[in-house]
Each structure stands twice: as structure tokens, then as C-alpha cells.
Structure 1
Amino acid sequence: MSEAPHRRIWLCADDYGISPGVNRAIRDLIARGRLNATSVMTVGPAIGRDEADALNKIAAESARCAIGLHVTLTAPFRPLTMYFRPLDGGLFLPFPKLLRAGLMRRLDSEMIRAEVMAQLASFRDLFGRAPDFVDGHQHAQLYPQVRDGFLAAVKEAAPDAWVRQGGRNIALMQRLAAPKALLLDVLSMQFRRRAARKSIAFNPAFAGAYDFTKVSDFGSLMGGFLDGLPENGLIMCHPGFVDDVLAELDPLTTQREHEHAYLAGEAFPQLLAANKVTLA
């Protein structure tokens, strides 16, 4: 009897462009063959021609590494479009306020579309092409009303890109055990329907959400993320080296270094092999 084939998955590092330390950590893992995707924040303070060229170079030298756009619509970042609303002190709304505004139908989908179009144009200017895929910082692409503007922009400016949905491929009882991931499951149901209606491809399943406020064993978490993940399923991760820029912008700091250390170490490829998984 022939051995079962390996599952091919996507392991995507979010937030390229948020800080120099995060950028270096992501490039290091791509060079080691430990990532096969990363998504770029074009509104981040650490993205420009040099950082884009460095990413392009290291990705071109790897067996296969997709580069996507990490659409950013939440604080503490600023929009690229001049008349974007609502804002909070000139910044995007914090994600709880943005989600609440979408649920209450208080957002302008056309304004969202225009901002996503601007970020797509910025990506094209930096990389000379459209992104391979498009996802969202703090999962904002899944929020009500936001998803309509997001998908309209992707369909117009990057029609060959796939988009990230956040639904998991697990049993009901497992879903109920993780409230944050359960919310992503619920939001992703409508997102998938809308993407399918527009003939926009998306990942069949998602993993990688966990409580960043707690000290966690990332190796154990990764084993759970792989469990039941189908072919072409996607795991998000947030590796990085902590620097002053990151500390000023994001509460997720030292856990990024834990993620990098695990992904760069020898236990990670052993885990992939034990689960008959390869990076796509």
C-alpha cells in the first residue's frame, strides 16, 4: 500500500512593514525555507523601496514564497486616502470600534473600497505587480460592510489574487472552546459567500489564532493548528524581533520572538514531517 501524500499548506507571516525587526525575522525564516508566504503592510512605517526589494530578493531565492497585501484599516495606523472616515484623532478606529460600526451599519463601503484600492496601488508601486493574495490586519477584511468594500477592490485591482478567510475546519465542541476563533468562524461564513459570488478564490481553512496576551508554548499551539488542516489550508503567524518601532505600535512583542525561535529551530520541520505536511 502506497504511503499517503503529504498535505501542502500555507504558513503566512503577517505584518511585514510594521518594523525593521519584524521584517528581518520574516526574511530570515523565508531564507531558511520555514515560511512560504508573508503579507505586507503598505501603511506601515518600515516599508519602502529598500525593504520591498530585500523581500523580493529573498522570496525569489526560495523554492516558493507568495507575497501578499496586509490591508490595514485599524489603529494605530493612518489611511492613505485623504477623506477616509470615520477616524479617531487622524488614525483608523481601533478594531473593536470598527467591528462595532460595521455591525451597526455605520460604515461607508465605498470609502473602504477606495482605501483598499490605494493600498493595492501602493503595493504595485513597491513590488511592480499585484499581490499574490490579500488579507487583513486584525482580520478587518471579515467585518460587516468592510468586507464589501474589500472584495470590490480586490476584484477590480487584483482579480487573480486569492483572499484570506478565517474559518476553521474543526468540530463544533472545539469551536466553542476558543471564543476569539469562534468569532472569526462566524464572520468568515458571510465573507466566503460574498467572495464566491465574485468568483474570488480563498483558502479552504484557517488556523493560527490564539490569545496573544498569555505566555504560550508556540510549538504545542502549532501542533494543534496542523491538526485537521486540509490541503492548501493556511496558518497565520507573527514572527519578529522586538525593536522600538514595534513596541510603540503593537502590544504583540516578545511572543513574536518566541514564534521566530520555534520556526527557526529543528523541532518545527520535525513536526511537519510527523504530520505529513509540507509548505506549498
Structure 2
Amino acid sequence: MSETPSLRRIWLCADDYGISPGVNRGIRDLITRGRLNATSVMVVGPVIGRDEIAMLKTAAAARPRCAIGLHVTLTAPFRPLTMHFRPDNGGLFLSFPRLMLAGLARRLDPVIIQSEVAVQLAAFVDLFGRAPDFVDGHQHVQVYPQVRDAFLAAVKDAAPQAWVRQSGRLRPARSLRAPKALILDFLSAEFRRRAAAVNLAFNPGFAGAYDFAGQPDFGALMGGFLEGLPEHGVIMCHPGFVDEVLIGLDPFTVQREHEHAYLAGEQFPELLRMNNVTLG
């Protein structure tokens, strides 16, 4: 008699809690349904008041295990929490391409970056009364050159028991049809090495990056994300409802509603079952 293979436990993490009321509501809805088991919070977001935090804590407390992390944000259109943050663009963070290029050219000041990450960590502790379960980065800033060492140093100092999110696949593909994933694979290899050097835990695999501009079939994408994802791997997602606040801050809008609809529907649990995966 063949043995039934054990279930793979993965993290399905909704990014961007705090960016808008509709995104917050969508994430809480999926946590309540048991369709997410992690979310990361933007403490620099415009919708991050005590009431929104209280509702998130209530939703998470009703589930057996829902991790809440810090979504470190260092890119526009958001503003730093620290004074004299540089480089900036009229008081805003740089765009993510400019930040990445500045890191590659070694034009960033790691001390300034570490201070901003430390202040965001402290803001999370003030809001939740505890350190984050994990720490990741908006637009994957945590894996950028120069940013990564400052990020890891701040986490090691303030939340050494937290795990950090690396954005590389377990078995990187060579296809040039997914350039974003290839860049993340390359940058994450060094991030993993440096995280291990300072004894910070990180997820063994990652999935969820895709080109949302064409509004692809999210259900089909999820099938690919689950394929080969190891135990404790992370799938990043961005569910939510579109509102004026979101439209003013982020180009990723309607596709968030498509993600929410799929994750809330009945096809998703069946996909998990077919792949022998659990969020519980």
C-alpha cells in the first residue's frame, strides 16, 4: 500500500496592507476565509491607523496561524519616516529603478538606509506591540545592492527571530520570457548568502512575480507558482479592491480584484488539494 504524501505547508502572503482601504479590506476578507496565511504591512502607507491595525489583528487571531510581517518600503510614491533621508525626489523615495541603479553604482549610504528600516521596524512594534514575524520589501528592495546589508543589519538588531524574504526561485529558469524573475533570482542569490552569514532565517523558495499589465489568468499562474515550491516556500500575491487611494498610488489596480476573486473562489482550495499543499 503506498503512503499518502505529507502536505506541503507554504506561505501565501498578501503584500501592501496599508496602501488603501480597499486593499486592506480585501486582505482581511481572505484571511478570515482561510485563503491567506500571511500579510506584510506598509507602515508608511496612508491607511495604517490604529483601527485598520485592530481589524487586521482580529482577522488574524481567528485563524490557527497567520503571520504578520513588515513590508519595508523605500520607493516612491511613499515618503521616508526619517528626516534627512537621501537620496530623495522632492521628499519622496526614489522610484524603484532609480534606487536599484543607485545601489548598483554604490551611490547609496547604507547608514541612512539602515536608519530608515530601523524606524519602520520600530513603527511596526508600536502598532502591533511586538516584532514582526517576518520582514520583506516593497518592490523587492531588500535584495537590491547596498540596500540588502542595511536591511539585514536593521532586522538582525530589532527582530532577530524574524525570517526575511528572499525573492529567488528554488530552481531558476533560464527563459528570457520572465526577465523580472531572472533579475530577482540573480539578486536573491547574494541576499541569501548574506542573510545566512548573519544567521537570519529565510524562505527556501519563492514565487508570485509576474507581468500584471496584461491582466493574465491568475488561476493559471497559481498552478505554476505551486509547481516545485518547497515546504515553507512563499507565494507573493496582491489581492484587494480598487479605490481612489489605490489608483493615486499604484499602477497595480484591477488585477488585484482578479487575484481576490480567484483566491476567494472554490477553484483555489481544489488547486491546493491537487498539489498536496496546505496553508493551515
Same fold (TM over 0.5): yes
Partner Cα distance (1:215, 1:15) in 2: 19
Aligned-residue sequence identity (percent) comes to: 72
* Alignment partner, residue 154 of structure 1: 155
- 1:77 maps onto 2:43 in alignment: no
Partner Cα distance (1:245, 1:215) in 2: 21
* Aligned-partner SS, 1:236: strand
Correspondence 1:182-193 to 2 at 5 A: 182-193=182-193
* Aligned-partner SS, 1:213: helix
CA offset at residue 176 of structure 1?
Answer: 3.8
Partner Cα distance (1:205, 1:89) in 2: 37
CA offset at residue 171 of structure 1?
Answer: 5.2
Partner Cα distance (1:171, 1:30) in 2: 30
* Alignment partner, residue 248 of structure 1: 248
* Alignment partner, residue 33 of structure 1: 34
Residue type of the partner of 2:260?
A: H
Where structure 2 has 5 or more consecutive residues not aligned to the other structure, the ranges are none
CA offset at residue 214 of structure 1?
Answer: 1.1
* Aligned-partner SS, 2:214: coil
CA offset at residue 172 of structure 1?
Answer: 3.5
Are 2:173 and 2:182, in contact at CA under 8 Å, matched by a contact in 1? no
Residue type of the partner of 1:134?
A: V
Partner Cα distance (2:64, 2:264) in 1: 17
Residue type of the partner of 1:264?
A: A
Q: Superposition RMSD on alpha carbons, in Å?
A: 0.8
Are 2:172 and 2:182, in contact at CA under 8 Å, matched by a contact in 1? no
CA offset at residue 146 of structure 1?
Answer: 0.3
TM-score, normalisation: structure 1: 0.98
CA offset at residue 215 of structure 1?
Answer: 1.6
Cα-to-partner distance string for 1:169-190 (whole Å, 9 max, x where unaligned): 23543x5431100000000011
Cα-to-partner distance string for 1:92-150 (whole Å, 9 max, x where unaligned): 00000000000000000110000000000000000000000000000001000000110
- 1:86 maps onto 2:87 in alignment: yes
* Aligned-partner SS, 2:187: helix
Residue type of the partner of 1:70?
A: H
Give the count of matched residue pairs: 279
Correspondence 1:114-193 to 2 at 5 A: 114-170=115-171, 172-173=173-174, 175-193=175-193
TM-score, normalisation: structure 2: 0.98
Q: Which runs of 4+ in 1 moved over 3 A?
A: none
